[in-house]
Chain A
Amino acid sequence: MLSVFYNGILSVTFGNIVMIVIGLTLLYLGIKKEYEPAPLIPIGFSTILVNIPFSSAIDQIVDGVLHRGVLNIFFDIGIITEIFPLLIFIAVGAMIDFGPLLENPVMFLFGAAAQFGIFATMVVATLLGFSIKEAASIGIIGAADGPTSIYVAGRFAKDLLGPISVAAYSYMSLVPIIQPAVIKLLTTREERKIKMEPKSVKMDKKVKIIFPIAVTDVSGLLAPSSTTLVGFLMFGNLLKECGVLNSIAKSAQNELANLVTILLGLSIGSTMTAEKFLRPQTLFILLLGLVAFIFDTAGGVLFAKFLNLFLKRKINPMIGAAGISAFPMSARVIHQLGRSEDPTNYLLMHAVGANVAGQIGSVLAGGILIALVGQL
């Protein structure tokens, strides 16, 4: 009878201990280092929950009867159905101001160019033995956008969801380290000093209201598979911009974002079991995530340099790197890097424009990947 109380202790495996240490590490990174704490703390804590032997937080079969664990239920209702990442998109959309992009629409091009890492990493992943669907799910880490990564991986490689999410959020928090190194490698000091004139266009409110509707329609017509992703992002933005739903927009920015982030993090943690996480593939995925961020940054910078071959008014090539979706961190990093080269250089609004274009680019890329890989 008493064995009920010590069975758990006797059943602890080496894998459980390693995973609990990984969970504690994620908690440390989130709490002490403040690296993406909102997703990493729930993921870290649920990693501990699922690695306690016979944990009631995950599914257990007792005497041939399945006892459902709440974390698996969260996973089924939120990730398998794709509801949690989509709700996060509403929240993200409600937080974004597309004004800087509307003032400088050329930034759209960087939002596309800086997604290079997604596609390049997918190719590298196949060289390491991953299937096409797994490779696409790993490549999407380069979207620099947690919900998009979860959305695509949830569809193509559920078993890899844990390491993919950890890689996506970890590298997003490492943007201030990764991007400057790659930029400095690919640009000269003179290029980094290029000044860009501020664009100040008085934007009619109508433009900001029509924009999310138009983007949804156009992207839906050109790439129907991206309709859900882009649509939810733009719906959130419409809530913000329409001007008559301020209270709902604020709820989306705060309550919805916070609640779903908790549930999303806990759900992802349910996949962080020793047998799923402690595999050589996990190490590859973490490395490939870094490769994706490096390729993204390089793609954006090199595209800007390519455009400069044809432009009279040169673009600071660092702006290209801000075309990733890590918002607003990437824009801040580029701005600060520009100021460190020339304190009078003010690149922030240009970088923010590229950065919000990256938000659209990353969700579109996710939709395109789903369409191309899904038909295989």
Chain B
Amino acid sequence: MENTFIAIKIGLTGYLFLIGVLFVFFLLTKLFVKLFSRGEKGGKE
């Protein structure tokens, strides 16, 4: 049972950390694409 508690702790930490890191990627990519992309196809350039 002790192993299970450790696994829950690792699982929660790992999962939330992973979501956090990919959230940072999301923000950075959004910013990055805004800076470098040339607007939407067929839209205003």
Identify the A interface with B (CB < 8 A): 101-103, 105-106, 108-109, 111-113, 115-116, 118-120, 122-123, 125-127, 130-132, 135-136, 139, 199-204, 206-207, 210-211, 214-215, 218-219, 222-223, 357, 360-361, 364-365, 368-369, 372-373, 376
Contacts and interface: CB of A to CB of B under 8 A. Distances in A.
A372 B10 contact: yes
A201 to B, nearest CB: 5
Closest 10 A-B residue pairs measured CB to CB?
A119-B11, A112-B22, A105-B29, A200-B41, A108-B26, A126-B3, A112-B19, A126-B7, A202-B38, A126-B4
B37 A204 contact: yes
Contacts, number: 122
A368 B20 CA distance: 12
Interface of B: 3-4, 6-8, 10-15, 17-19, 21-26, 28-30, 32-33, 36-42
Given A200-B40, A202-B38, A364 B18 contact: yes
Chain A binding surface, main DSSP class: helix
Contact of A109 (B19, B37, B38): B19
A223 B11 contact: no
Nearest to A125: B7
A368 B17 contact: yes
A117 to B, nearest CB: 10
A373 B18 contact: no
Nearest to B43: A200
10 contacts: A105-B26, A108-B26, A199-B40, A201-B39, A204-B38, A214-B28, A218-B28, A222-B21, A368-B17, A376-B6
Contacts of A200: 40-42
A139 B3 CA distance: 14
Nearest to A371: B14
Contacts of B4: 123, 126-127
B38 to A, nearest CB: 4
A214 B32 contact: yes
A376 B3 CA distance: 11
A119 B23 contact: no
Contacts of B11: 119-120, 122-123, 139
B32 to A, nearest CB: 7
Contacts of A123: 4, 7-8, 11
A223 B21 contact: yes
Contact of B22 (A102, A122, A360, A369): A360
Nearest to A200: B41
A112 B29 contact: no
